[in-house]
Amino acid sequence: MSPEPRPAAAEPTARDAAHDPVDTRLACSWLHTARFLTTAPELRFLPTVTVPEIAFVGRSNAGKSTCINTLTQQRQLAFASKKPGRTQHINLFALGRQGGTDAVLADLPGYGYAAVPRQDKIRWQQVMAHYLISRESLTAVVLLCDPRHGLTELDEILLELIRPRVQAGLRFLVLLTKADKLNRAEQTRALSLMKLQTAGGEVRLFSATRRQGVDEVSALLWQWAHPDGAIPAGLTQAGAATATATAATTATDTATATGTATGTSTSTAAAAVPPDSASSAAPD
């Protein structure tokens, strides 16, 4: 555990975004355009992307894939499963209207699941570290953390890994997932604690089943992807106002992702992250 304060988040905040209802409608409509782009076992097989890329990272079973499905209002876009370790590749989803792409979401394999063989653990953690350090299009990271478990040692290592990039402008948000499992007092306590741990950084409560935090997070992602406020072609405010908010709650693992991994990356050697032998992510 590092005594250093965690990376603080960049402005503007989700709270600011939530003050503007147009932003929320636009954001939800935009997120609903998400479609599968590609899947790859490691960074060097990912295509080069020239638009902002937002990665969802965190412990196995934290709810990353479910969060992506909820935000995009699609039931089976990303793999989600009760069984930890379900996502084993880096999966990219393109966002944008009329065939255009103005941002990409990345669903990363989770870490910390004890039942995974040691070699697989090391490989996944290296894949993730390599991606976080070297992926040039990465402009934002959403760290999902189940507040019932708090930050794990591997979460702390991840925070240290991305600190230099956060200081250089990478956006960063901690989502306290499965907030529906906590009562109101526990939620308040968890939020305060995580804000302390992230040195006042951006932290939000999130529940896929109750859609808690969905509008705020959607608006924040929209702002991250469109920092100059420009509305992409084909996404008018009138169109956005009619966007459906079909809630994707808990998705199942029936989808198959068979995208072709193309392109190259200019990345350097992966940072060695120790396997998490102590903790185990128990399925809910």
Ligand X SMILES: Nc1nc2c(ncn2[C@@H]2O[C@H](COP(=O)(O)OP(=O)(O)OP(=O)(O)O)[C@@H](O)[C@H]2O)c(=O)[nH]1
Binding footprint of ligand X on the chain (CB under 6 A): 58, 60-66, 80-82, 84-87, 109-110, 177-178, 180-181, 207-209, 250, 284
Among 73, 87, 152, 265, binds Mg ion (CB under 5 A): 87
Between the alpha carbon of residue 231 and those of residues 26, 31, 54, 143, 156, the distances in Å are 9, 13, 18, 27, 36
Nearest to 71 by CA among 81, 56, 58: 56
- Length of the chain, in residues: 284
Nearer to ligand X, 7 or 84 (CB): 84
- What is the closest distance, in whole angstroms, from the C-beta atom of residue 4 to ligand X in the complex? 26
- What is the closest distance, in whole angstroms, from the C-beta atom of residue 79 to ligand X in the complex? 6
Nearer to ligand X, 19 or 82 (CB): 82
Compute how many other C-beta atoms are within 10 angstroms of the C-beta atom of residue 92: 24
Query: Choosing among Mg ion, ligand X, none, which partner's interface includes residue 52 (Cβ < 5 to 8 Å by kind)?
Result: none
Q: How far apart are CA 82 and CA 111, in angstroms?
A: 15
Nearer to Mg ion, 162 or 251 (CB): 251
Tokens standing for residue 277: 């032998």
- What is the closest distance, in whole angstroms, from the C-beta atom of residue 259 to Mg ion in the complex? 16
Tokens standing for residue 138: 């990465």
Return the residue nearest ligand X (CB atom).
110
Nearer to ligand X, 191 or 240 (CB): 191
Among 65, 101, 152, 265, binds Mg ion (CB under 5 A): 65
Query: Choosing among Mg ion, ligand X, none, which partner's interface includes residue 112 (Cβ < 5 to 8 Å by kind)?
Result: none
Cα 4–Cα 137–Cα 237 angle in degrees, nearest 5: 105
Q: How far apart are CA 74 and CA 220, in angstroms?
A: 19
- What is the closest distance, in whole angstroms, from the C-beta atom of residue 66 to Mg ion in the complex? 8
- What is the closest distance, in whole angstroms, from the C-beta atom of residue 101 to Mg ion in the complex? 22
Query: What's the farthest any 2 CA atoms get from each other in the chain?
Result: 52
Q: Report the SS3 class of residue 90.
A: strand
Query: Choosing among Mg ion, ligand X, none, which partner's interface includes residue 85 (Cβ < 5 to 8 Å by kind)?
Result: ligand X
Burial 193-209 (b: 16+ CB within 10 A, else e): ebeebbeebbbbbbbbe
Residue 237 region by backbone torsions, left for phi larger than 0, else alpha for psi between -120 and 50, else beta: alpha
- Residue 60 as a binder of Mg ion (CB under 5 A): the answer is no
- What is the closest distance, in whole angstroms, from the C-beta atom of residue 281 to ligand X in the complex? 7
Query: Choosing among Mg ion, ligand X, none, which partner's interface includes residue 7 (Cβ < 5 to 8 Å by kind)?
Result: none
- What is the closest distance, in whole angstroms, from the C-beta atom of residue 71 to ligand X in the complex? 12
Q: How far apart are CA 195 and CA 157, in angstroms?
A: 18
Q: How far apart are CA 218 and CA 35, in angstroms?
A: 16
Nearer to ligand X, 160 or 253 (CB): 253
Nearer to Mg ion, 68 or 95 (CB): 68
Tell me which residues touch Mg ion (CB under 5 A).
64-65, 87
